[in-house]
Structures are given as C-alpha cells and as structure tokens.
Amino acid sequence: MNKKYLLPNSTIGIIGGGQLGRMMALAAKAMGYRIVVLDPMVDSPAGQVSDEQIVANYDDRSALKELAVHADVVTYEFENVDYDALAAIENLVVIPQGTELLSITQDRILEKAYLESCNINIAPYAVVVDKEDILEQIKSIGYPAVLKTARGGYDGKGQFVLNDESDIESALPLLRYGSCVLEAFIPFEKEISVIVARNNSGQIETFPVSENVHHHNILHTSVVPAGIDADTDEEAHVIATKLAEYLKLEGVLAVEMFVTRSGALYVNELAPRPHNSGHYTIEACSISQFTQHIRAIAGLPLLKPELLKPAVMINILGQHVKGVNEAMGDYSRWFVHYYGKKEVKENRKMGHITVLTNNTDAVLEDISETQIWD
C-alpha cells in the first residue's frame, strides 16, 4: 500500500471462501474494491461474489504467492490458516491482521497464556498431555471440567466435558491430537461476545454486546442488547478494547465471554476476524462488522457502531433449511441470508435470519413456535 489507505479499485485478497469471506467481499465490493479469494472449492460462497478465484488449499505456497501478487492487501476469514505458509508471503504483500495474532488464536495454550499475561480473567486451566496429567490436574481444577484440544477445534469440535472420573477414558482420544487444555467448567448464566475493531492509526471501536445461545456447541441465537447490567456491559467493552490495544489489532476481533450470576466475566475464546455472533450488525447497526473490518484493514477511519434497533439473529443450519424455506413467505420481518452453499448438510451453517424488533422476547417466541429449530 503506497497510500496511507487503500484506494477504490485496489484488490483485497481473502484466504478462505466461506460465509465470512463472502460477507467481507460483499462489504468490500460496496466500497469499490476488487476481490480475489483463495479456497479449495470452485464457486465457494465467497468465490461466487469475488472478481477472481484461486482454487487451491490454504497451505499451498505457490497459490498463496499468486494471491499476494494479485492483491494489495490480504486478509483471512478464519484462524486456522497455515501459519508458516502465511508468514512466507508476509514480505510480498500487506497482511494487516499480521501473523502473530494468528499464532496466538490458533492455539488455545498460547491464547490462554496471552490472556493471562494481559491480566484478563479466564477459567482456571492446565496443559495436559496424558491421562496421568489429567488425574493430577483435576485435583485442583475439580469436576466438571472441559478437555479441549489445543489446536484445530471450532464449534465445540475437539472438546469433552468431564463430569466425573468415569468420563476420563472416553475423553482420552482427544490427546491423540496433541497437547490439550483442561479447564474448569464455568457455571455461566450467559454467554456474550463483543466485536472490536482497530485500525493502523490506533482508533478502536466496539460493537454492542450480543448475548449468545449455543445448541450442541454451535451458535443458535444472538440477541442484542444482551440482558446484562450496565457495569457488566461496560466491563465487556473495556476487556475488548484492552485486547485490541495490546494486540495492536488491525481488523476486527471477536471476544467470547462467560458471565456468571454474580456478574464476573471470563474470556473463553478470541477470533481474529468477523464472527457469527456479529452478523446482527448487518441490519441492526450503523455499520456492519464486515464493513468495519474492511475499513480497518484498508487503513480508513472506523465508524462508531450504533445500535439502530434491538435484534435477534438465528442461524440456519442444514437441518433448518427446509423449514425456513417453507416459512419465510409468512414472516415479512425476517432478513433471510443464505451463503450460496449447494450441499445441505446437518449442522452446516447455511445462512442466518436477523429480525429487528422492540420486543426480542416476542421474536424468540415466534421463532420457537415455528418448531423449525426444535
């Protein structure tokens, strides 16, 4: 980038052609940028709305080099990008999100150590490599506990809840994937997340806190504003802002947290990119998380996100597609998004619905009455 900011008609390279890449690309296209996407699938969700597609694996070095040559700026839509392969093109193209943030967020052990070093509250944990470690560490962590693989887990994959000693045997296969984290189960009252954005001038903006409900570890609904008190809300924003500062973030970061009954906050996970729990921002905020991400990586000033109206976001997984398609004609307030995925599979994120409303409880009731998500 010769200019301080990326000019229209410049090209943004996106690693990953899923729905996050697609919504990033749509936001970037609205601003006049060109998009080249790298994904192993032809006609991927992002590929469908991009100017060019490079069809190759994420760790294919010659393909990444081609992306670097075609693009003025490179971004990624998920954190499991091959670190070494990305580092290898860092001298060829601007990668505003950098590679350090990637290495921290793709390894739970590094992520937890980093959060601790920032004095951010997290669940008590230990790194374990075998059964003996688990038996030793569980003495201080106690039951219930959660065993999580250090790398490669998402949407609850690669984790196992240990309610008592009899569960340990069934959890052991996780150790085949390498070191694991054993952490205390937090009896949370709510799960929330904050999306924070920072640009290369150091400007930071946070989005309203969303309250998230997961089904089988996959995000089910996000409701905004979250049902938390003003102090907890303020603290969630402070944590996200602090992390953006410490990490010298360029782009957006999602910070997932647990809230206990007493209002204590525990950071569970970071995602260095737009996040499913921020999809509500497309319709409900003065700027979407995707536009903000593009502005941040383009070096443009950030907009202050304002909540225009309370919102409910609900995910459409493979098993919900038929029901949603049959019902959507009856719900004039549903903003229905589909990601252009051709193959419908159980638990695959196919789209989402956002509803703007002054009564989020009533919308949740309407949604439940459809029985689509039972």
- For ligand AMP, the binding residues (CB under 6 A) are 123, 146, 153, 156, 159, 183, 185-186, 188, 191, 214, 217, 256, 268-269
Q: Is 361 labelled as part of a ligand binding site?
A: no
Q: Is 269 labelled as part of a ligand binding site?
A: yes
CB of residue 274 to ligand AMP, shortest distance in Å: 16
Query: What are the structure tokens assigned to 15, written together?
Result: 């690693």
CB 279 within 8 A of CB 336: no
| 152 contacts: CB under 8 Å, gap ≥ 6 | 80, 158, 177
10-19 CB burial, b ≥16 within 10 A, e <16: bbbbbbbbbb
CB of residue 161 to ligand AMP, shortest distance in Å: 8
Q: Is 52 labelled as part of a ligand binding site?
A: no
Report the residue number, 20 or 297, with the smaller CB distance to ligand AMP.
Answer: 20
CB of residue 236 to ligand AMP, shortest distance in Å: 15
Report the residue number, 227 or 340, with the smaller CB distance to ligand AMP.
Answer: 227
> Look-up: residue for tokens 């499991």?
80
CB of residue 162 to ligand AMP, shortest distance in Å: 11
Q: Is 4 labelled as part of a ligand binding site?
A: no
Q: Is 268 labelled as part of a ligand binding site?
A: yes
Measured from the Cβ of residue 361, the count of other Cβ atoms closer than 10 Å reads: 11
Report the residue number, 159 or 232, with the smaller CB distance to ligand AMP.
Answer: 159
DSSP 197-253: EE-TT--EEEPPPEEEEEETTEEEEEEES-S--HHHHHHHHHHHHHHHHHTT--EEE
The amino acid at residue 199 is N
State the Cα torsion 170-217-141-229 to the nearest 10°. -170
Report the residue number, 15 or 141, with the smaller CB distance to ligand AMP.
Answer: 141
Q: Is 153 labelled as part of a ligand binding site?
A: yes
CA distance 100 to 53: 26
CB of residue 365 to ligand AMP, shortest distance in Å: 23
Q: Is 367 labelled as part of a ligand binding site?
A: no
Which residue's CB atom is positioned nearest to ligand AMP?
Answer: 186
Report the residue number, 155 or 245, with the smaller CB distance to ligand AMP.
Answer: 155
> Look-up: residue for tokens 């991400």?
293
Q: Is 184 labelled as part of a ligand binding site?
A: yes
Report the residue number, 19 or 159, with the smaller CB distance to ligand AMP.
Answer: 159
**Nearest residue to 58 via CA among 1, 102, 25, 9:** 102
Please state whether beta strands 190-198 and 204-206 pair in parallel, antiparallel, or not at all (unpaired): antiparallel
CB of residue 212 to ligand AMP, shortest distance in Å: 7
Query: Annotated binding site, which residues?
Result: 108, 148, 153-159, 183-186, 191, 214, 268-269
Query: Annotated binding site for ATP, which residues?
Result: 108, 148, 153-159, 183-186, 191, 214, 268-269
